[in-house]
Amino acid sequence: MSLQQVLITEPTEVERPSRRPRWRPPLHGSDLSWAIAFLLPYAAVFAGFVVYPMAYGLWMGSDPALYSALFADPRYFRAALNTVVFVALAVNVQMFLALLLSGFFARRRRWIKALLVLYLLPWTLPAVPAFLSFHWMLAADRQGLIDRLLQVLFGIEGPVWLTQGWLALAWDIAADIWKWMPLWTLIFLGGRLAIPQELYEAADVDGASAYRRFIHLTLPLLANLYLVSTLIATIWSFGDYAPVLFVSGGTPAFASDVLSTLGLRYALDFASPRLGVAAGLTVLPLLIPITILLMRRLQQKAVQL
Amino acid sequence: MSNGSFLIVRATGRRVRLRRVLVEAASILLGCVILIWSLVPVYNMFLIALDPIGHNEFAGELWPPHPTLASFRALWTESADDVEHIWRQFANSIAIGVPVMALTVLIGSLASFSIGRMRFGRGFGLGSVALLTYAIPASTLIIPFFRVMHVYGLLDNPWAVIAAEVTFATPYAILVLQYYAHLIPAELDDAARIDGASALQLYWRIYVPLMAPALAAIGTYALLFAWNDYFYQYMLLTSERHTTVAVALEQFFDDDDAPWNMMMAIAIVYSLPPIAIFYALRRYMSRGLTAGGVKS
């Protein structure tokens, strides 16, 4: 049992214990008071810092004129497109690679364990300095580390990375994957380690190849964990300004901005907070179904437990 | 792999050996790729930080030509432009990160005990209600948050940032803790209740000790969350005496003539506390649930 397992959002099918907590509703008497008292601190946080700001935000963005102003702005469409590309690519690539790499890190070798320690480093580095380091590998007039490595290793002159919108966005995505893939690898590794070894031994006896073991054993057992993790990562990515803000900075001329950074620019640089809120709220048609899907997914599982 | 099954005996030994060598070579290659991928941006931080002050940091070297710790020294003594208040900024970051860590663990564990262990409001899925926090992106919510903090009179007060970060870290904490709580057998609670333990005693004597590895993981997560944040610290703390390191780093970014080696030196020092805590707690976390003798 390790951090990996701690971070798995739920025990895998096979490990789920049959025992269930004995406290069943309705709670009464002092138990009920304690249950309410324990929940009170979070309820206060939720009311004061979630419900109120959200209601206020929805009110700020409730004027239809804001949206016509938004849709008349070409920067908005570029940012919306960038957001979809950013979230779809960054999340799915890092999830898929994390799933594969968790298999690599599950191998019982000492050097692989040591490598895991270094591999986790990006996740433990704070976002601002890490992404600024990416920025200076790319933005230093072709003298950054990436350009220099390309020259020395392959003798080629790289493009000026951050002057083309799509290239800049690609680096934002790469930086995001670099930072967050270790976390998901760790979570999937925990999921894999929770699968009883006997299942694999049985598969070995049946002569299953590594590929078939992965498809018929690992994948079905990790499917729910994978889905829940992907939903959470997607939700977080919509609100993640850091890779775009610090790696490409939205250059050139907002071409690599996503909605989260464009909204902040509207609010701060153009002194139009309402427009900024409105820009952010336009992701709700995507974000709300994903949040509900996640909640339902977790609730179904909770009922089963 | 080779548990001496008859399959291996039957296959020609040479082919098996060849395959094993190929697998080994492939995994070493993959290991090298992972190593380079993970470390290049970190190396870049050192490359720039080790340059002498005033030297052109972007002269296109792969190795610092005149490596020196001058920028770290200047940082230590606060003796260069842009770093006069660096230690106060560090203190500010810590004064936010530590309460965020403690409050997320406390509030998250209490809520997850009530929902996951006492089954309070099971029918209403109270645990997932917390996830509604993520229904509007945090980067958008910052704008109304600013306004709300003004109403609360908390603007330019570190507690505004602490509240915001706890708000966004706790839903995930509750989610993880609630599921982890299912791994602790209910019999422990039952036994303690027969002995007349109150709910508070169950929380403090059974839940917290057995959940300690999960709580440590969540604490690390919350600290990393606070350390990753920039915008809430930037928006909600307006006066210079409350400036945090993350905000100070960004101010370098805005200034074209900023000493980049100083900035990278700050970046490296700023990265140390979460790394230290993560690797220190990793051992502890890996002791895991089974340490409590609850494995059935």
How many structural domains compose chain B? 2
Shared domain for B127 and B251, answered yes or no, is: yes
Distance, in angstroms, between B156 CA and closest chain A CA?
16
Rounded to whole angstroms, the Cα distance separating A141 from B59 reads 10
ipTM of this model? 0.85
**Local confidence band at A4 (pLDDT 50, 70, 90 cut-offs):** very low
Residue B62 resides in a domain: no
Residue B40 resides in a domain: yes
Q: How high is the pLDDT of residue A98? A: 94
Q: How high is the pLDDT of residue B160? A: 93
Q: How high is the pLDDT of residue B188? A: 82
Shared domain for B260 and B187, answered yes or no, is: yes
Stretch A265-288: mean pLDDT: 90
Distance, in angstroms, between B270 CA and closest chain A CA?
8
**Local confidence band at A28 (pLDDT 50, 70, 90 cut-offs):** low
Shared domain for B129 and B191, answered yes or no, is: yes
Residues of B in contact with A9 (CB under 8 A): 175-176, 179
Shared domain for B102 and B21, answered yes or no, is: no
Shared domain for B16 and B132, answered yes or no, is: no
Domains of chain A (ranges, CATH numbers): 23-60 (no CATH), 73-304 (1.10.3720.10)
Shared domain for B25 and B91, answered yes or no, is: no
Q: How high is the pLDDT of residue B119? A: 76
Residue B5: give the domain boundaries. Answer: 1-45
- B251 close to A (CB below 8 A): no
Least CB–CB distance from B189: residue in A2, A22, A117: A22
User: Hey, are the CB atoms on A11 and B186 less than 8 Å from each other?
Assistant: no
Which segment of A80-84, A108-112, A196-200, B200-204 scores lowest on mean pLDDT?
A: A196-200
- Give the count of Cβ contacts less than 8 A between chain A and B: 350
Tell me the per-residue pLDDT of B137-179, one tens digit each, with 9 for 90 and over. 988 999 999 999 999 998 899 999 999 999 999 999 988 888 7
Residue B91 resides in a domain: yes
Residue B61 resides in a domain: no
**Local confidence band at A16 (pLDDT 50, 70, 90 cut-offs):** very low
Q: How high is the pLDDT of residue B60? A: 63
Q: How high is the pLDDT of residue A180? A: 94
Q: How high is the pLDDT of residue B78? A: 74
What CATH number is associated with residue B243? 1.10.3720.10
Residue B51 resides in a domain: no
Distance, in angstroms, between A295 CA and closest chain B CA?
5
pLDDT of B238 > 90? The answer is no
Shared domain for B21 and B138, answered yes or no, is: no
Shared domain for B210 and B275, answered yes or no, is: yes
Shared domain for B38 and B177, answered yes or no, is: no
Residues of A in contact with B129 (CB under 8 A): 46, 295
Q: How high is the pLDDT of residue B58? A: 61
Residue B77 resides in a domain: no
Residue B11 resides in a domain: yes
Residue B233 resides in a domain: yes
Shared domain for B112 and B34, answered yes or no, is: no
- DSSP assignment of chain A: --HHHHHSSS--GGG--S---S--SSP-HHHHHHHHHHHHHHHHHHIIIIIHHHHHHHHHT--HHHHHHHHT-HHHHHHHHHHHHHHHHHHHHHHHHHHHHHHHHTS--HHHHHHHHHHTHHHHS-HHHHHHHHHHHHSSTT-SHHHHHHHHHH------GGGSHHHHHHHHHHHHHHHHHHHHHHHHHHHHHTS-HHHHHHHHHTT--HHHHIIIIIHHHHHHHHHHHHHHHHHHHHT--HHIIIIITTTTTTTT--HHHHHHHHHHTS--HHHHHHHHHTTHHHHHHHHHHHHHHHHHHHHH-
Tell me the per-residue pLDDT of B47-103, one tens digit each, with 9 for 90 and over. 888 877 766 656 667 777 777 777 788 778 777 767 778 888 999 999 999 999 999
Stretch A248-253: mean pLDDT: 78
Shared domain for B99 and B163, answered yes or no, is: yes
Shared domain for B134 and B226, answered yes or no, is: yes
Q: How high is the pLDDT of residue B124? A: 55
The B residues from 97 to 136 touching A (CB cutoff 8 Å) are 106-108, 110-111, 113-123, 125-136
Distance, in angstroms, between B151 CA and closest chain A CA?
11
User: Hey, are the CB atoms on B129 and A136 less than 8 Å from each other?
Assistant: no
Q: How high is the pLDDT of residue B14? A: 79
Least CB–CB distance from B111: residue in A42, A121, A204: A42
